Amino acid sequence: MEKKEYRVGERDDGLRLDLFLAGIAAELSRSAVQKLCRQGLVLVDGKEQCKAGFRLRHGQKIEFYLPPHPQSKAEPEAIPLDIIYEDDDLLVLNKARGMVVHPSAGHRQGTMVNALLAHCRALPAAEEKNRPGIVHRLDKDTTGLLVVAKSDLAFRSLAQQIKDRMVKREYRAVVHGTPPGKQGTVDAPLGRDPHDRKKFAVVQGGKGRQAVTHYRVLGKNGPYSLLAVELETGRTHQIRVHLAHIGYPIVGDPLYGSKRSPHRGKGQLLHSCKLAFQHPRSREYIEFTALPGEEFRPFMPEDPMPPPSAAAPSDK
């Protein structure tokens, strides 16, 4: 990311943050500034400022980070996909480990979107040109189920269902240690890590976005545990950050995992195993499941735990 810095002059005292940056940075419009604020990429005197209407004071230091310009248009590439369901409106696939969902800096080719364009030929346009049909994402090394919109109807419906928390998403995660009890909930807001803009962190003081994660302990294998994890919200890196925050990082996680783990940097053992939603056209509730890959096998529980008496609450 490109970093830029400015100082608020005397004549700009009291000016809105978005007007200030749009006026001095030719590459930024007010809407672009608002988007950067929502992404946690604007700092005032070293602190994240998520309100584009924030009133500035003379002498304040303004920093902002510009993401690299994305590829204007993704090109079709003949890359195999593990498609488990498809119709005229959508497809559900089991994403492989190491596959990036859409083109971005450092990943211009070989992504899931490139493969989808070769398979489908056309996908509904998204807000960003390099993400056609994409309504939700999985990190590069997170495996499992993803739904992709093939029609405008499906794109609108699925995006709204996700926004309204109507899509059920369940994961399997292998973590270091064993959380106490059989189940728990992490309710902690997430935002950009103020010390590393490539990472996310739990942030307090009203600067983060609400994030809620439910988990159940399925069993243990030596120093590791297998968790069932359900998302109530869907923030970037949410499961990875929340589990690390409570002291049980995901095995293999290169960003949030244990620095002393022999598995560090090999890719997080996180798998999207269940996905359920209302079909955009038929209105039928449909559910899909996919088992974790072979990389999970050495960590599978030796002593599976009985299910809890009541499932973790979910507000979907």
- 190/274 same-domain check: yes
The SS3 of residue 290 is coil
109 and 26 share a domain?
no
Same domain (yes/no): 91, 205: no
The per-residue pLDDT for 108 is 72
Q: What is the model's pLDDT at position 312?
A: 38
What torsion, rounded to 10 degrees, do the Cα atoms 180, 185, 191, 193 define?
Answer: 0
Query: Which residue segment(s) compose the domain that 102 sits in?
Result: 83-163
Q: Which helix (H) or strand (E) segment is 214 a member of?
A: strand 212-221
Q: Is residue 76 part of a domain?
A: no
The verdict on 153 and 112 lying in the same domain is yes
Domain boundary among 163, 182, 214: 163
Instruction: Give yes or no: residues 21 and 104 share one domain.
Output: no
Please check whether residue 310 lies inside any domain of the structure. Answer: no
pLDDT means per 10 residues in the chain (316 residues)?
84 87 74 87 89 92 78 80 96 94 73 91 73 89 95 94 94 95 94 80 85 96 96 93 97 87 83 97 97 93 54 38
Length of the chain: 316
Domain check: are 213 and 159 in the same one? Answer: no
Domain containing residue 152: CATH number: 3.30.2350.10
Quote the CA–CA distance of 177 and 122 in Å, as a whole number: 45
Helix or strand holding residue 172 (H, E)? strand 168-176
Residue-level pLDDT at 304:
56
The CATH number that applies at residue 58 is 3.10.290.10
Q: Which long-range contacts (CB under 8 A, 24 or more apart) does 305-308 make?
A: 305/182, 305/217, 305/218, 305/219, 305/220, 307/216, 308/182, 308/183, 308/216
Count CB atoms within 10 A of the CB of residue 23.
12
The span from the CA of 138 to the CA of 123, in Å, is: 19
Reading the block at residue 95, the tokens are 């994403």
Whether residues 152 and 183 share a domain: the answer is no
Task: Classify burial at 72, counting beta carbons within 10 Å of its beta carbon; exposed 0-12, middle 13-18, buried 19 or more.
Answer: exposed
Q: Is residue 203 part of a domain?
A: yes
Are 193 and 273 in the same domain? yes
- The separation between CA 32 and the C-alpha centre of its own chain, rounded to angstroms, equals 20
The pTM of the whole model exceeds 0.85: no
Q: Please report the pLDDT score of residue 27 as a whole number.
A: 63
Q: Which of these three, 138, 163, 188, is where a domain ends?
A: 163
Domain co-membership, 32 together with 48: yes
Q: Does residue 313 belong to any structural domain of this protein?
A: no
Q: Are 190 and 123 part of one and the same domain?
A: no
**Sign (positive/negative) of CA torsion 65, 71, 76, 77?**
negative
Asked if residue 238 belongs to a domain, the reply is yes
Residue 152 domain flag: yes
Active site residue ranges: 139
**What is the distance between the alpha carbons of residues 168 and 136, in angstroms, rounded to a whole number?**
12
| Nearest-angstrom CA–CA distance, 48 and 64 | 10
State whether 246 and 274 are in the same domain.
yes
For tokens 């002593």, name the residue.
303
- Structural domain count of the chain: 3
Q: pLDDT at position 305, please? A: 56
User: For 231, which DSSP code?
Assistant: E
From 163, 196, 227, give the residue that closes a domain: 163
Residues 119 and 144 in one domain: yes
